Amino acid sequence: MSFARAFRPPDLRQKLLLTLGIIVVFRFGSTLPVPGISAPAVRYCSGLESGSAAVNVYAILNLFSGNSLLHVTVFATGIMPSITASIIVQLLTQVIPRLQALKDQDRAGQAKITQY
């Protein structure tokens, strides 16, 4: 009863449908294998196929990714590469003078750093 009432207001219905759509796209992307990569070769190279008791870093990352690294899916990496790249570029602005000059500029310099 209350679930059906949630779809009555048009703005709430749009938000719920958008959220459900995002969840469907994410679940589809986390099961869709990356073309051109052999999943058995990835399992062999990562050491997860051998069944050894030693816990390696790949096994922990696979655990946190919901087993999508083992199956080499499209959304396996998530947002972590983007965050890591952003942190590295921010650190490089302190070391490289050209990036420091871009940082000191107004919006144009910031946009160029964001593009990098």
Using one digit for the tens of pLDDT, what is the confidence trace for 32-69?
887 887 777 777 776 665 555 555 677 777 777 667 66
Query: Would 109 be classed as within a structural domain?
Result: yes
Q: Is residue 63 part of a domain?
A: no
Confidence of residue 19 (pLDDT cuts 50, 70, 90): very high
Task: Write the DSSP symbol of residue 73.
Answer: B
pLDDT at 1: 61
Q: Is the pLDDT reported for residue 105 higher than 80?
A: yes
Contact 101, 109 (CB under 8 A): yes
- Domain span including residue 93: 80-115
Q: Would you say residue 26 lies in a domain?
A: no
Task: Report the alpha-carbon angle 37-85-98, nearest 5.
Answer: 135
Helices (runs of H) and strands (runs of E) counted in the chain: 7, 0
